[in-house]
């Protein structure tokens, strides 16, 4: 349920500068649609009216003992709802906007730096890099991405 004041992600069709994953705050519930203020994307800072079907709630609403919403939670994104309604891109954007991807991105950078250091010191990869010349850098980035993907997929 979308309540006034919650963060949401756009999951509707691309139109008027909107793309899936753009984030907004629900300003008011007008019954058949919501009045929102964009907090990311090309319409950042603008207001719009949207159908509920075009939004997925990002924050899990929690009420305190007086019935007021609180947002003091470790994870402020309703991951299952955003994934179900907006897909992986919308979930990634919502997690990134809330700062939940910061630690993961840092660890990914460390993994890539470690792999790159190993490739630079390995005689086989030194030969491969020399043979590729100016094309070595984009090929190495692709190899690193493929290696990380293979590991995460269990291959």
Residues 6+ apart with CB under 8 A from 75: 60, 100
Euclidean distance between the first and the last CA atom of the chain, given in angstroms as a whole number: 39
What value does the mean pLDDT of the chain take? 82
At residue 127 the predicted structure's pLDDT band, cuts being 50, 70 and 90, is very high
User: Residue 9 in 3-state DSSP?
Assistant: strand
- The confidence score (pLDDT) of residue 22 equals 87
Contact in structure between 95 and 58 (CB atoms under 8 Å): no
Q: What is the DSSP string of 15-26?
A: BTTB-TT-EEEE
pLDDT value at position 122? 92
Least confident of 61-75, 78-92, 93-107, 123-137: 61-75
Examine the pLDDT at 114 and tell me if it is beyond 60: yes
pLDDT of residue 131: 92
pLDDT greater than 60 at residue 94: yes
What's the pLDDT at 90? 84
Using the predicted structure, report yes or no on whether residue 20 has a pLDDT greater than 60: yes
Quickly count: other Cβ atoms within 10 Å of residue 115's Cβ: 15
Say if residue 64's pLDDT is above 60: no
- Percentage of the chain with pLDDT > 70? 85
């Amino acid at each position: 349920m979308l309540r006034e004041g919650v963060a949401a992600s756009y999951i509707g069709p691309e139109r008027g500068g909107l793309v899936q994953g753009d984030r907004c705050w629900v300003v008011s519930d007008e019954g058949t649609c919501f009045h929102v203020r964009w907090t990311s994307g090309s319409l950042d800072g603008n207001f719009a009216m949207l159908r509920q079907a075009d939004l997925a709630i990002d924050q899990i609403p929690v009420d305190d003992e007086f019935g007021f919403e609180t947002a003091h939670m470790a994870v402020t994104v309703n991951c299952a709802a955003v994934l179900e309604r907006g897909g992986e891109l919308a979930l990634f954007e919502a997690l990134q906007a809330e700062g939940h991807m910061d630690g993961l991105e840092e660890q990914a950078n460390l993994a890539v730096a470690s792999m790159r250091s190993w490739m630079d010191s390995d005689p086989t990869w030194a030969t491969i890099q020399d043979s590729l010349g100016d094309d070595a850098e984009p090929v190495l980035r692709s190899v690193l991405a493929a290696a990380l993907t293979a590991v995460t997929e269990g291959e």
